[in-house]
Structure 1
Amino acid sequence: MIYTVTLNPSIDYVISLEHLQLGALNRIEQDDKFPGGKGINVSRVLKRLGVESETLGFIGGFTGAYIEQYLATEQIATDFVHVEEDTRINVKVTTDVETEINGQGPMITTSEYEQLQGKIRNLPQGSILILSGSVPAALPETTYEELIKICVANGVKFVVDAEGDLLQKAIAYRPFLIKPNHHELGGLFNCEITEPAEAIPYARQLVEQGAQNVIVSFAGKGAVFVNAKSALISSVPVGELESSVGAGDSLVAGFLAHYLQENDVEAAFKYGVAAGSATAFSVGLATKKTIEQLLPQVTIIERSEFL
């Protein structure tokens, strides 16, 4: 069973307009509202790929109720800790360039955080927990590390999709998968990485430090996969960018869904890249149909063996 954690979920209000004029009246051409948050995105894509999951985290107020109701309509299991303040609303503006305006999120008490820890402590041995996204200001900076230690103690595999210290501190605990983008990877090593081939030696270092599998996304330039045995560079499908929101989460979901079914990392990597692209080319998240339409365009353009 897969479990996802979204510590600071949101309602994502996605609006599209031709041009954004500051200080003037702007009329929206199209708008959509979705449950937001990286873990929630992963659960939603997994469901579309026929893989069950349960999503955990903190929600509150009328916005939190909307998220629960929305996920219930998609038949996605939830086990949230309910807090007093409203779940945040994030505004995503799609026009000449993408602009995001993110809310702060509710206050979370020590008792509520302990409730989440208890839920993770009770996860079945052998399950997979996906930790992704930011940590709310109300929680300690060590939150990821504390939740990971619970996983390690109870035989739960974990996946981390985060950046900076959150990711760096997780690596020593041997995550099954980490997925930095090339900017985040460069941040870990205080350098600039612009091409997929440049990422391989740095991703290799992360494997040596403890990560079992590393995927580095490069948006339109492709993606890189590295583990202890090999390194792969993939192409990406050609299409028109609608929104990058959720693309990385879809990559994680696509990889895990295919890996659990086929136990083949190369095929899972290609499927994950197709899933990320399918979301980028859509308003909303990828579907199985859109992923599999793009899959033939994903090829491995470079392969290196370490053994």
Structure 2
Amino acid sequence: MIFTVTFNPSLDYIVGLDAFREGEVNRSEWEQLYPGGKGINVSMVLKNLEIRNIALGFIGGFTGKEIQRRIKDFGCYTDFVKIKSGISRINVKIKADQESEINGQGPDISKKELGELFKKLESIEKGDILVLAGSIPAALPEDTYESIMKLLENRGVKIVVDATGELLLRVVKYQPFLIKPNNHELGEMFGVVLNKREDIILYAKRLQQMGAQNVLVSMAGEGAILVDESGKVHEMKPPKGIVKNSVGAGDSMVAGFIAGYLKSQDLQDAFRMGVVTGSASAFSETLATKAEVMKLLDELSHKNEGGRKNADY
């Protein structure tokens, strides 16, 4: 089974207008409402790829109920901890001549409620995959990711961490199966600017030396680089397409990587599926569907001589 954890889910309210005028009344031209959060995005893309998973995390109040309702209506399984005080946050995303976001802080989470999540995590078994995605909200201890990974240490659970900065550096000692910084985040972790592929590979390997098994570095329009557990370097340019929405593309890459790995147990296949799935989300107004992913995979198969058939994904 695959489990995803989103500590601070949100209800994302997206409004579109031609131009945003500060200090004036602005009227939207279109609106959308989605459940948000990196782990939730991973769960929804996995569902689109017909891979069963369970979304974990914390929800509260009327917004929490709506988040859970929308995720269930999408077809995902959930097992959230319901907090007693406060409400799940609302994030406002303005799409105009320039994009702007206002992200809520989220509710307080008690030690008891955090303990309830840990009890759920206790049920994870050998061979399962756990995805820890996003930042730790201020209401929780800074070492929450570390505590979870210590809890599951030596149980044969493959842990995927999609986080940034100091948070990611602190967990690599627990040998996560996969970590996914982008090239800018990778540079920030070591106080350097990474522009050349050789430098990106160098610092990805440094994270391996610190404990990470597989390091997947996303580079937006430049594609991605994977340094796998054997030390082999894989590189791939993204498929060609028009970027419509970059939100969730990185989460989709994680979901695609997991889907590819489950299919063949091959890291090269996983990498390819990850890049294509991330691109499919970037080329779509919403998260990637299986049809969109398959279309890009088929295009790549026809483009590259000797490409493998992908109809069984």
TM-score bin, normalised by smaller chain: over 0.9
Matched, 1:80 2:87: no
1:165-204 CA distance string (max 9 Å, x none): 1100111111000000111100111101134443111101
- In the superposition, the TM-score normalised over structure 2's length comes to 0.92
DSSP-derived class of the 2:56 partner: strand
Query: Aligned residue pairs: how many?
Result: 300
Match of 1:150, as an amino acid?
A: L
- In the superposition, the TM-score normalised over structure 1's length comes to 0.93
Matched, 1:6 2:6: yes
Matched, 1:155 2:156: yes
1:110-189 pair list within 5 angstroms: 110-189=111-190
Shift of 1:70: 1.0
Does the CA contact (< 8 Å) of 1:131 and 1:161 recur in 2?
yes
Match of 2:201, as an amino acid?
A: I
Question: Can you give the 5+ residue segments of structure 2 that lack an aligned partner in the other structure?
Answer: 305-313
Matched, 1:211 2:215: no
Shift of 1:115: 0.7
Shift of 1:155: 3.1
Match of 1:117, as an amino acid?
A: F
Match of 2:269, as an amino acid?
A: A
Corresponding residue for residue 310 of structure 2 = none
Does the CA contact (< 8 Å) of 1:237 and 1:277 recur in 2?
yes
Corresponding residue for residue 202 of structure 1 = 203
Distance in 2, matches of 1:23 and 1:262, equals: 55
Does the CA contact (< 8 Å) of 1:225 and 1:232 recur in 2?
yes
Distance in 1, matches of 2:87 and 2:267, equals: 40
DSSP-derived class of the 2:152 partner: helix
Superposition RMSD in Å:
1.6
Does the CA contact (< 8 Å) of 1:172 and 1:211 recur in 2?
yes
Moved more, 244-253 or 260-269: 260-269
Corresponding residue for residue 46 of structure 2 = 46
Distance in 1, matches of 2:95 and 2:196, equals: 26
Does the CA contact (< 8 Å) of 1:11 and 1:63 recur in 2?
yes
Shift of 1:205: 1.1
1:114-163 CA distance string (max 9 Å, x none): 11111111212221110010111010101110011112153322110001
Corresponding residue for residue 304 of structure 1 = none
Match of 1:225, as an amino acid?
A: L
Does the CA contact (< 8 Å) of 1:151 and 1:157 recur in 2?
no
Corresponding residue for residue 305 of structure 1 = none
Distance in 2, matches of 1:156 and 1:171, equals: 15
1:99-123 CA distance string (max 9 Å, x none): 2211000010010011111111121
Corresponding residue for residue 282 of structure 1 = 284
Distance in 2, matches of 1:145 and 1:159, equals: 13
DSSP-derived class of the 1:105 partner: coil
Distance in 2, matches of 1:45 and 1:165, equals: 27
Moved more, 224-233 or 166-175: 224-233
Does the CA contact (< 8 Å) of 1:236 and 1:297 recur in 2?
no
Corresponding residue for residue 65 of structure 1 = 65
Question: Can you give the 5+ residue segments of structure 1 that lack an aligned partner in the other structure?
Answer: 301-307
Change (3 A) 1:172 1:15: same
Distance in 1, matches of 2:104 and 2:21, equals: 22
Corresponding residue for residue 257 of structure 2 = 255
Shift of 1:94: 2.2
DSSP-derived class of the 1:248 partner: helix
1:63-111 CA distance string (max 9 Å, x none): 1101111111122111111012110011122233332211000010010
